[in-house]
Structure 1
Amino acid sequence: MTELAVALARLHARAFADPWPEDAFAQLLAQPTTRVHAAPHGFILTRLTVDEAEILTLAVDPERRRAGIGRGLIDEAAAALAAEGATRLFLEVAVDNVAARALYAATGFAEAGVRRGYYARPGGAIDALVLSRELKLP
Protein backbone atom coordinates (compact mmCIF):
# COMPACT_ATOMS: atom_id res chain seq x y z
CA MET A 1 0.00 0.00 0.00
CA THR A 2 1.42 3.38 -0.93
CA GLU A 3 1.51 6.30 1.47
CA LEU A 4 -0.61 8.28 -0.97
CA ALA A 5 -3.35 5.61 -1.04
CA VAL A 6 -3.39 5.54 2.76
CA ALA A 7 -3.58 9.34 3.01
CA LEU A 8 -6.38 9.57 0.42
CA ALA A 9 -8.36 6.83 2.16
CA ARG A 10 -8.04 8.61 5.52
CA LEU A 11 -9.31 11.91 4.14
CA HIS A 12 -12.06 10.14 2.19
CA ALA A 13 -13.19 8.49 5.45
CA ARG A 14 -13.49 11.93 7.07
CA ALA A 15 -15.46 13.28 4.12
CA PHE A 16 -17.91 10.44 3.38
CA ALA A 17 -20.24 8.18 5.36
CA ASP A 18 -19.38 5.26 3.04
CA PRO A 19 -15.67 5.77 2.32
CA TRP A 20 -13.51 3.86 -0.11
CA PRO A 21 -10.91 1.50 1.39
CA GLU A 22 -7.15 1.94 1.01
CA ASP A 23 -6.91 -0.90 -1.51
CA ALA A 24 -9.44 0.82 -3.80
CA PHE A 25 -7.24 3.91 -3.87
CA ALA A 26 -4.13 1.79 -4.42
CA GLN A 27 -5.77 0.07 -7.40
CA LEU A 28 -6.93 3.34 -8.93
CA LEU A 29 -3.55 5.02 -8.43
CA ALA A 30 -1.86 2.09 -10.19
CA GLN A 31 -3.86 2.73 -13.38
CA PRO A 32 -2.16 4.96 -15.96
CA THR A 33 -5.45 6.75 -16.68
CA THR A 34 -5.92 7.97 -13.09
CA ARG A 35 -4.92 11.49 -12.07
CA VAL A 36 -4.84 12.93 -8.55
CA HIS A 37 -4.67 16.57 -7.55
CA ALA A 38 -4.21 17.28 -3.87
CA ALA A 39 -4.39 20.40 -1.76
CA PRO A 40 -4.14 20.86 1.96
CA HIS A 41 -7.37 19.34 3.31
CA GLY A 42 -8.67 17.95 0.01
CA PHE A 43 -8.12 16.00 -3.19
CA ILE A 44 -9.76 15.14 -6.50
CA LEU A 45 -9.27 11.86 -8.31
CA THR A 46 -10.00 11.74 -12.04
CA ARG A 47 -9.70 9.30 -14.92
CA LEU A 48 -8.75 10.31 -18.47
CA THR A 49 -9.71 8.18 -21.46
CA VAL A 50 -8.80 9.63 -24.85
CA ASP A 51 -10.75 12.93 -24.96
CA GLU A 52 -13.17 12.35 -22.05
CA ALA A 53 -12.48 12.55 -18.35
CA GLU A 54 -14.41 11.61 -15.24
CA ILE A 55 -14.26 12.81 -11.65
CA LEU A 56 -14.07 9.61 -9.62
CA THR A 57 -14.22 11.35 -6.25
CA LEU A 58 -13.68 14.76 -4.69
CA ALA A 59 -13.05 14.92 -0.96
CA VAL A 60 -12.62 17.93 1.30
CA ASP A 61 -12.10 17.73 5.05
CA PRO A 62 -15.54 18.52 6.56
CA GLU A 63 -13.99 21.14 8.85
CA ARG A 64 -12.57 22.99 5.81
CA ARG A 65 -15.57 22.94 3.49
CA ARG A 66 -16.92 26.14 1.93
CA ALA A 67 -13.41 27.64 1.83
CA GLY A 68 -12.86 27.27 -1.93
CA ILE A 69 -10.85 24.04 -1.74
CA GLY A 70 -13.27 21.99 -3.83
CA ARG A 71 -13.63 24.70 -6.45
CA GLY A 72 -9.85 25.07 -6.66
CA LEU A 73 -9.37 21.33 -7.09
CA ILE A 74 -12.00 21.17 -9.84
CA ASP A 75 -10.44 24.12 -11.66
CA GLU A 76 -6.93 22.65 -11.36
CA ALA A 77 -8.00 19.19 -12.54
CA ALA A 78 -10.07 20.59 -15.41
CA ALA A 79 -7.16 22.67 -16.68
CA ALA A 80 -4.74 19.74 -16.44
CA LEU A 81 -7.15 17.37 -18.18
CA ALA A 82 -7.79 19.89 -20.96
CA ALA A 83 -4.03 20.25 -21.43
CA GLU A 84 -3.89 16.46 -21.88
CA GLY A 85 -6.57 16.59 -24.59
CA ALA A 86 -9.83 16.04 -22.70
CA THR A 87 -12.75 17.99 -24.13
CA ARG A 88 -15.47 16.94 -21.66
CA LEU A 89 -15.53 16.15 -17.94
CA PHE A 90 -18.22 13.93 -16.36
CA LEU A 91 -19.24 12.94 -12.83
CA GLU A 92 -22.07 11.37 -10.86
CA VAL A 93 -23.57 13.06 -7.81
CA ALA A 94 -26.34 11.87 -5.50
CA VAL A 95 -29.58 13.75 -6.04
CA ASP A 96 -29.72 14.55 -2.33
CA ASN A 97 -26.19 15.99 -2.12
CA VAL A 98 -27.26 19.62 -2.27
CA ALA A 99 -23.87 21.11 -1.37
CA ALA A 100 -21.99 19.12 -4.02
CA ARG A 101 -24.61 19.89 -6.65
CA ALA A 102 -24.24 23.61 -5.90
CA LEU A 103 -20.46 23.38 -6.19
CA TYR A 104 -20.67 21.55 -9.52
CA ALA A 105 -23.22 24.03 -10.89
CA ALA A 106 -20.96 26.91 -9.85
CA THR A 107 -18.05 25.30 -11.71
CA GLY A 108 -19.92 24.91 -15.00
CA PHE A 109 -21.44 21.43 -14.82
CA ALA A 110 -24.89 20.76 -16.27
CA GLU A 111 -27.15 17.73 -16.07
CA ALA A 112 -26.50 15.15 -18.77
CA GLY A 113 -28.54 12.22 -17.46
CA VAL A 114 -29.72 10.16 -14.49
CA ARG A 115 -28.54 6.80 -13.16
CA ARG A 116 -31.52 5.27 -11.37
CA GLY A 117 -30.78 3.65 -8.00
CA TYR A 118 -27.03 4.32 -8.32
CA TYR A 119 -26.25 4.99 -4.66
CA ALA A 120 -27.15 2.48 -1.93
CA ARG A 121 -28.57 4.09 1.19
CA PRO A 122 -29.99 2.58 4.39
CA GLY A 123 -33.53 3.54 3.33
CA GLY A 124 -33.06 2.33 -0.24
CA ALA A 125 -31.12 3.25 -3.34
CA ILE A 126 -31.24 6.79 -4.67
CA ASP A 127 -30.55 8.23 -8.08
CA ALA A 128 -27.39 9.89 -9.28
CA LEU A 129 -27.33 12.82 -11.62
CA VAL A 130 -24.77 12.55 -14.40
CA LEU A 131 -23.23 15.98 -14.87
CA SER A 132 -20.81 17.17 -17.53
CA ARG A 133 -18.98 20.25 -18.64
CA GLU A 134 -16.92 21.20 -21.64
CA LEU A 135 -13.20 21.58 -21.15
CA LYS A 136 -11.20 24.21 -23.02
CA LEU A 137 -7.60 25.22 -22.91
CA PRO A 138 -7.15 28.63 -21.29
Structure 2
Amino acid sequence: MHEFVRLGFADIDQILSIEEAVYSHPWSRGNFSDSLMNGHDAFGIRNEVQEIIAYFLVMPVVDELHLLNFAVRSENQKQGYASAMLKFMHAYAKEHGYASILLEVRRSNYRAIEVYLGDGFQEIGRRKGYYPAEGDAREDAIVMRRIC
Protein backbone atom coordinates (compact mmCIF):
# COMPACT_ATOMS: atom_id res chain seq x y z
CA MET A 1 0.00 0.00 0.00
CA HIS A 2 1.22 3.49 -0.86
CA GLU A 3 -0.19 6.79 0.34
CA PHE A 4 0.14 10.45 -0.60
CA VAL A 5 1.24 12.54 2.36
CA ARG A 6 2.26 16.09 3.19
CA LEU A 7 5.98 16.23 3.95
CA GLY A 8 7.83 18.46 6.40
CA PHE A 9 11.08 19.12 8.21
CA ALA A 10 11.14 15.62 9.76
CA ASP A 11 11.31 14.16 6.24
CA ILE A 12 14.35 16.09 5.01
CA ASP A 13 16.84 13.26 5.67
CA GLN A 14 14.84 10.81 3.52
CA ILE A 15 14.30 13.46 0.85
CA LEU A 16 18.03 14.26 0.77
CA SER A 17 18.87 10.58 0.42
CA ILE A 18 16.73 10.39 -2.74
CA GLU A 19 17.85 13.79 -4.01
CA GLU A 20 21.55 12.95 -3.75
CA ALA A 21 21.06 9.58 -5.47
CA VAL A 22 19.13 10.85 -8.49
CA TYR A 23 20.53 14.31 -9.28
CA SER A 24 23.98 15.34 -10.47
CA HIS A 25 23.51 18.71 -8.73
CA PRO A 26 21.19 17.97 -5.79
CA TRP A 27 19.50 20.52 -3.58
CA SER A 28 21.10 20.99 -0.18
CA ARG A 29 19.51 20.56 3.23
CA GLY A 30 19.35 24.35 3.35
CA ASN A 31 17.43 24.52 0.07
CA PHE A 32 14.77 22.16 1.41
CA SER A 33 14.62 23.85 4.83
CA ASP A 34 14.32 27.30 3.25
CA SER A 35 11.51 26.12 0.97
CA LEU A 36 9.56 24.66 3.87
CA MET A 37 10.21 27.73 6.06
CA ASN A 38 8.89 29.92 3.24
CA GLY A 39 5.63 27.97 3.26
CA HIS A 40 6.12 26.03 0.06
CA ASP A 41 4.13 22.81 -0.04
CA ALA A 42 5.83 19.41 -0.11
CA PHE A 43 4.07 16.12 -0.80
CA GLY A 44 5.25 12.58 -1.25
CA ILE A 45 4.33 8.95 -1.57
CA ARG A 46 5.20 6.64 1.32
CA ASN A 47 5.33 2.87 1.08
CA GLU A 48 4.01 0.38 3.63
CA VAL A 49 7.06 0.88 5.90
CA GLN A 50 6.75 4.68 5.73
CA GLU A 51 9.71 5.22 3.39
CA ILE A 52 9.38 8.06 0.94
CA ILE A 53 9.27 6.79 -2.65
CA ALA A 54 8.69 10.09 -4.45
CA TYR A 55 8.26 13.74 -3.54
CA PHE A 56 7.67 17.19 -4.94
CA LEU A 57 7.82 20.77 -3.69
CA VAL A 58 5.69 23.53 -5.17
CA MET A 59 5.57 27.28 -4.72
CA PRO A 60 2.45 29.34 -5.41
CA VAL A 61 3.04 32.40 -7.60
CA VAL A 62 -0.17 34.44 -7.98
CA ASP A 63 -2.47 32.05 -9.90
CA GLU A 64 0.24 29.57 -10.91
CA LEU A 65 1.88 26.69 -9.11
CA HIS A 66 5.64 26.49 -9.73
CA LEU A 67 7.16 23.01 -9.41
CA LEU A 68 10.47 23.53 -7.61
CA ASN A 69 11.70 19.99 -7.12
CA PHE A 70 10.45 16.54 -8.05
CA ALA A 71 12.07 13.12 -7.71
CA VAL A 72 11.35 9.41 -7.55
CA ARG A 73 13.69 7.07 -5.66
CA SER A 74 16.01 5.29 -8.12
CA GLU A 75 14.75 1.78 -7.40
CA ASN A 76 11.14 2.90 -7.88
CA GLN A 77 11.56 4.68 -11.20
CA LYS A 78 9.63 3.48 -14.26
CA GLN A 79 6.84 2.09 -12.04
CA GLY A 80 4.27 4.87 -12.53
CA TYR A 81 5.08 6.92 -9.43
CA ALA A 82 6.02 10.04 -11.40
CA SER A 83 2.72 9.94 -13.26
CA ALA A 84 0.80 9.36 -10.03
CA MET A 85 2.55 12.32 -8.39
CA LEU A 86 1.78 14.55 -11.38
CA LYS A 87 -1.91 13.56 -11.25
CA PHE A 88 -1.94 14.35 -7.53
CA MET A 89 -0.22 17.71 -8.21
CA HIS A 90 -2.73 18.59 -10.91
CA ALA A 91 -5.67 17.76 -8.61
CA TYR A 92 -4.06 19.84 -5.84
CA ALA A 93 -3.60 22.78 -8.22
CA LYS A 94 -7.20 22.63 -9.42
CA GLU A 95 -8.55 22.28 -5.88
CA HIS A 96 -6.65 25.41 -4.82
CA GLY A 97 -7.66 27.46 -7.86
CA TYR A 98 -4.35 27.63 -9.72
CA ALA A 99 -4.67 28.23 -13.47
CA SER A 100 -1.50 26.35 -14.41
CA ILE A 101 1.63 24.53 -13.25
CA LEU A 102 5.03 25.78 -14.41
CA LEU A 103 8.37 23.95 -14.26
CA GLU A 104 11.92 23.97 -15.56
CA VAL A 105 13.70 20.80 -16.58
CA ARG A 106 17.25 20.18 -17.77
CA ARG A 107 17.41 20.00 -21.55
CA SER A 108 19.30 16.69 -21.18
CA ASN A 109 16.70 15.08 -18.88
CA TYR A 110 14.88 13.22 -21.65
CA ARG A 111 13.03 10.81 -19.34
CA ALA A 112 11.54 13.65 -17.29
CA ILE A 113 10.61 15.60 -20.42
CA GLU A 114 8.82 12.54 -21.79
CA VAL A 115 6.88 12.10 -18.52
CA TYR A 116 5.91 15.79 -18.45
CA LEU A 117 4.81 15.76 -22.09
CA GLY A 118 2.76 12.63 -21.43
CA ASP A 119 1.04 14.44 -18.57
CA GLY A 120 -0.02 17.38 -20.74
CA PHE A 121 2.82 19.84 -20.16
CA GLN A 122 3.95 21.86 -23.16
CA GLU A 123 7.23 23.62 -23.78
CA ILE A 124 6.79 27.40 -23.55
CA GLY A 125 10.39 28.59 -23.54
CA ARG A 126 14.02 28.10 -22.60
CA ARG A 127 16.25 29.54 -19.90
CA LYS A 128 19.79 29.74 -21.24
CA GLY A 129 22.46 28.51 -18.82
CA TYR A 130 19.91 27.98 -16.04
CA TYR A 131 21.41 24.84 -14.48
CA PRO A 132 24.98 24.14 -13.32
CA ALA A 133 26.70 21.39 -15.30
CA GLU A 134 30.13 19.74 -15.14
CA GLY A 135 32.97 22.08 -14.24
CA ASP A 136 32.07 25.68 -14.98
CA ALA A 137 29.60 24.76 -17.71
CA ARG A 138 25.90 25.62 -17.63
CA GLU A 139 22.92 23.79 -19.11
CA ASP A 140 19.75 25.25 -20.58
CA ALA A 141 16.37 24.61 -19.00
CA ILE A 142 13.21 23.86 -20.90
CA VAL A 143 10.30 25.77 -19.39
CA MET A 144 7.05 23.82 -19.47
CA ARG A 145 3.49 24.64 -18.46
CA ARG A 146 0.33 22.64 -17.95
CA ILE A 147 -3.01 24.39 -17.86
CA CYS A 148 -5.27 23.23 -15.03
- TM-score under structure 1 normalisation? 0.91
Provide the alpha-carbon RMSD of the alignment.
1.5
Q: 1:51 aligns with which of 45, 63, 69?
A: 63
Q: For residue 4 of structure 1, what is the aligned residue in structure 2?
A: 11
- Residues 1:14 and 2:21 aligned together: yes
Q: Which range is displaced more, 89-98 or 42-51?
A: 42-51
Gaps of 5+ in 1: none
User: Is the CA contact (8 Å cut-off) linking 1:50 and 1:85 kept in structure 2?
Assistant: no
Q: For residue 125 of structure 1, what is the aligned residue in structure 2?
A: 138
**Aligned-partner SS, 1:122:** coil
Paired-residue identity, %: 25
Q: Which range is displaced more, 98-107 or 72-81?
A: 72-81
- Residues 1:36 and 2:48 aligned together: no
Count matched residues.
134
Runs of at least 4 residues of structure 1 off by over 6 A?
none
CA displacement, residues 27-57 of structure 1 (integer Å, 9 cap, x when unaligned): 101122x111101311011111231111101
Task: Report deviation, 1:119.
Answer: 1.3
**Aligned-partner SS, 1:29:** helix
CA distance in structure 2 between the partners assigned to 1:78 and 1:35 by the alignment: 14
CA distance in structure 1 between the partners assigned to 2:38 and 2:131 by the alignment: 24
**Aligned-partner SS, 1:75:** helix
Gaps of 5+ in 2: 1-7, 47-52
Task: Report deviation, 1:76.
Answer: 0.3
Partner amino acid, structure 2, of 1:74: L
